[in-house]
Amino acid sequence: MIKNKKLLNKIFKYNILLGHKSTYRHPKMSKYILLKQNNIDIINPIKFIKNIKKSKQILKKCINIGGSILFVGTKNIIKDVIKKYAQKINMPYINYKWHAGLLTNIQITKLSINKKSYIDKKIKKNYKYLSKKEIKYIDRKYDKIDKFFGSIYNMHKLPLLVIIVDVKKENIAVKEAKKKGLYIIGIVDSDSSPENVNLPIPANDDSSKSIKLIFKILFYSIIKKIKKNNKYKK
């Protein structure tokens, strides 16, 4: 039985438990489905709350031991949510496009990041000696690198944990994280497979309101702690 009625009301209000049509259900998600309503899968709230509690504990442990968390979610509707919560706890994120090899070929990733650093420190200081055409070309190149890699600019080593929204869309990220032995928390909708994720959070991954609430539940106490620590540092 779920004791927190306030949380339960919010879960229903923001359609967190609303899955896809039953005909699109992934067979391995069946254990997370409570019922079928008008041919739409409704996710079991007990399963959702149980796994979100586990996720909170793991995220806190990761932060406490100084590990980094990589946020991944490239759907247009959740790009801003990914960015907002990653920045709140000063963690890297990918919200534009996942580049193949980003984790499995970290040296190539670092080269791209170093190009951005080089332009910042060296080339931009010499803009006055360049033509408008050359400046335009450099700026275009810089913006492209920044769009794809700017958010992981300070990621000097592999993260300890990856949190992925929509494991079906971000399947390459899931495969690379698994290959590198990283712990994966995935928000998994009824049409996706939870099998390659260490800890699946069964939930609607197609709504920004749903993802906002999930992230608020997951990171509220962590953000509060960080703010408190920063307050005492002043």
pLDDT digits (tens, 9 = 90+) for 14-34: 999 999 999 999 999 999 999
pLDDT digits (tens, 9 = 90+) for 111-139: 766 766 666 666 766 777 778 888 788 77
User: What local confidence, expressed as pLDDT, does residue 182 receive?
Assistant: 97
Mean pLDDT value of segment 91-114: 82
| pLDDT band, residue 3 (cuts 50/70/90) | low
User: What local confidence, expressed as pLDDT, does residue 232 receive?
Assistant: 47
pTM of the model: 0.86
Beta strands 93-94 and 40-43 are: unpaired
Mean pLDDT, the chain, rounded, equals 87
| pLDDT band, residue 168 (cuts 50/70/90) | very high
Residue 101 has pLDDT above 70, yes or no: yes
Residue 151 has pLDDT above 90, yes or no: no
Residues 6+ away with beta carbon under 8 Å from 11: 17, 45, 48, 49, 213
Mean pLDDT value of segment 161-186: 97
What share of the chain in percent tops pLDDT 70?
86
Residue 102 has pLDDT above 50, yes or no: yes
pLDDT digits (tens, 9 = 90+) for 54-87: 999 999 999 999 999 999 999 999 999 999 999 9
User: What local confidence, expressed as pLDDT, does residue 234 receive?
Assistant: 46
The Cα–Cα gap between 221 and 55 comes to 13
Residue 197 has pLDDT above 60, yes or no: yes
User: What local confidence, expressed as pLDDT, does residue 179 receive?
Assistant: 96
* Phi, psi dihedrals of residue 86, rounded to the nearest 5°: -65, -45
Roughly how many angstroms between the first and final C-alpha of the chain, as a whole number? 44
Per CATH, the number for 5-103+158-233 is 3.40.50.10490
- Other Cβ atoms within 10 Å of 218 Cβ, number: 22
